[in-house]
């Protein structure tokens, strides 16, 4: 510092002489301040304040300010403290040199600016605050989360190091301890879906009946075993489903498993029936396993015991519409010639029908042959033992061969009105016509080949020229 600069201070003339030496010393110290310690000596500036010599003070600080400008020596902070000493007024104004401290915006220098709340210098410090800082533990604009640098580890349910959400329930990806995750919008707890906490919503296999399920024994037990549950939570085969399965003896469905005769019990065992050894329902007898078609046995329908009946021919040839008229006329001849308990083996398609379907025995009307009955001829030879169809020579709708002819010794022809399959056929206009233009089917009473020669020999005779016998059946 030179003398002229020292004289330009605020000191009076009297003080000038007294402090001349001091100014010279201060000038030397100021240069030392350039080394940085001069800032500390700045307390001497306080002395200058005491002298109140504006000239000297301003001179002192003017020099010092310039010194601070040199190579950021003022940035040593302590030099800035000298600026506080300059609170003596205009020294602060000189602090606009401290505005040069905006160069201190390079970091902590800005902090120094805040200390010197020299107006906008501090504002420059706040500019140093910048945008959001990921890791400061505060969720700021643009961040999804911020737990602090130490906790932003990307752990499930937490925060990533870049302040984005780590894996969590609702992100649509199954992770962590989640059982499911369809995304927040879809984790609604709907059946078969996912709950809001990423646990499974009710579903088939959870052991509880819900949704549209009719059963649910749990995934490990929904195996489709009889009486159990299928893998899709529908009932497996069970008593009442209308299908005989498992250990069932019968199954007509829950509504029909009512224990009715010849039906099924509610536990899918057989209800009372023919063959159970108990007489029940409409049964006349029931010997269980002994039921059969031998004479004297309880028949397979439990309608009675198997009886023996005779089937024979009447005494003479007769013409329809002349010797007899209609079925009732034929029955009267049999009753007259053989006995009151006999009727004619004859059909007319109306009053007497043996079968509608070939060999079935269905649609019978006034039929004279009985079910489960053994028929013998006049010589007591077994002709046939009938089954449920009540047709001679037929078993389970299949034609066979008679055990003996009805009249094997005579071979007489007989009227029947039946085709070879027992269906109704030509019958002399229901046995009322006696003309050569009307015809009727007949059979050879010695024939035994059912379906070929019995009950028709394949031909027909006119109703006036060919007299035939009647076959009479014991009732």
Interatomic CA distance for residues 392 and 420, integer angstroms: 12
List, for residues 203-242, the tens digit of each pLDDT value.
999 999 999 999 999 999 999 999 999 999 999 999 999 9
DSSP designation for 307:
E
Domain at 306-475, CATH homologous superfamily: Mannose-Binding Protein A, subunit A (3.10.100.10)
Closest by Cα among 279, 277, 252, 275 to 263: 252
442, containing H or E segment: strand 439-444
Residues 6 or more apart from 216 whose CB is under 8 A from it?
204, 205, 206, 207, 208, 209, 210, 222, 229, 233
- State residue 129's pLDDT score: 55
- Predicted confidence at residue 380, as pLDDT, reads 97
Domain ranges of the chain: 3-117, 306-475
pLDDT at residue 74, as a whole number = 33
> Is the bond into 455 cis (omega within 30 degrees of 0)?
yes
Give 177-188 pLDDT, tens digit per residue: 999 999 999 999
Dist. CA 228–CA 249, nearest whole Å: 18
Q: Specify the pLDDT at position 458.
A: 77
Tokens, residue 21: 């030496």
- What is the model's pLDDT at position 132? 87
Task: Determine the pLDDT at residue 146.
Answer: 92
pLDDT at position 410 is 78
8 Å CB contact between 33 and 71: no
Give the model's pLDDT for residue 130.
63
What residue ranges of the chain have pLDDT lower than 50? 1-128
């Amino acid at each position: 510092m030179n003398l002229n600069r020292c004289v330009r201070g605020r000191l009076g003339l009297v003080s000038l002489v007294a402090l001349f030496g001091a100014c010279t010393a201060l000038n030397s110290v100021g240069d030392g301040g350039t080394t940085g310690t001069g800032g500390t000596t700045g307390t001497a500036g306080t002395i200058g304040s005491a002298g109140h010599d504006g000239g000297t003070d301003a001179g002192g600080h003017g020099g010092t300010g310039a010194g601070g400008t040199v190579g950021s020596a003022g940035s040593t902070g302590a030099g800035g403290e000298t600026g506080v000493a300059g609170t003596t007024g205009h020294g602060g104004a000189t602090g606009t040199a401290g505005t040069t401290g905006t160069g201190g915006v390079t970091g902590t220098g800005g902090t120094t600016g805040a200390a010197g709340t020299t107006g906008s210098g501090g504002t420059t410090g706040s500019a140093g605050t910048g945008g959001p800082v990921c890791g400061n533990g505060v969720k700021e604009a643009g961040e999804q989360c911020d737990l602090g640098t130490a906790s932003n580890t990307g752990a499930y349910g937490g925060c990533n190091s870049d302040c984005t959400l780590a894996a969590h329930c609702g992100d649509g990806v199954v992770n962590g301890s989640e059982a499911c995750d369809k995304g927040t919008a879809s984790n609604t707890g709907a059946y078969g879906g996912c709950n809001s906490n990423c646990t499974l919503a009710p579903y088939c296999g959870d052991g509880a009946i819900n949704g549209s399920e009719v059963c649910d024994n749990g995934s490990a037990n929904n195996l489709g075993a009889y009486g159990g549950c299928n893998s899709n939570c529908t009932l497996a085969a069970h008593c009442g489903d209308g299908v005989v399965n498992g250990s069932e003896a019968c199954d007509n469905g829950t509504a029909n498993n009512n224990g009715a005769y010849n039906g099924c019990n509610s536990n899918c065992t057989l209800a009372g029936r023919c063959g159970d050894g108990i007489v029940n329902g409409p049964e006349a007898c029931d010997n269980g396993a002994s039921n059969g078609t031998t004479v004297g046995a309880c028949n397979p329908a439990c309608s009675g015991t198997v009886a023996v009946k005779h089937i024979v021919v009447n005494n003479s040839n007769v013409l329809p519409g002349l010797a007899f008229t209609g079925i009732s006329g034929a029955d009267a001849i049999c009753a007259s010639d053989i006995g009151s308990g006999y009727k004619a083996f004859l059909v007319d398609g109306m009053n007497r029908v043996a079968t509608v379907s070939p060999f079935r025995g269905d649609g019978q009307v006034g039929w004279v042959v009985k079910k489960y009955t053994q028929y013998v001829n006049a010589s007591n030879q077994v002709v046939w033992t009938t089954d449920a169809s009540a047709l001679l020579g037929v078993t389970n709708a299949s034609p066979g061969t008679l055990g003996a002819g009805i009249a094997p010794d005579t071979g007489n022809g007989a009227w029947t009105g039946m085709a070879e399959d027992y269906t109704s056929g030509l019958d002399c206009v229901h046995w009322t016509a006696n003309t050569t233009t009307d015809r009727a089917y007949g059979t050879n009473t010695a024939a035994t080949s059912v379906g070929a020669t019995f009950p028709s020999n394949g031909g027909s005779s006119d109703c006036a020229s060919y007299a035939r016998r009647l076959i009479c059946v014991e009732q």
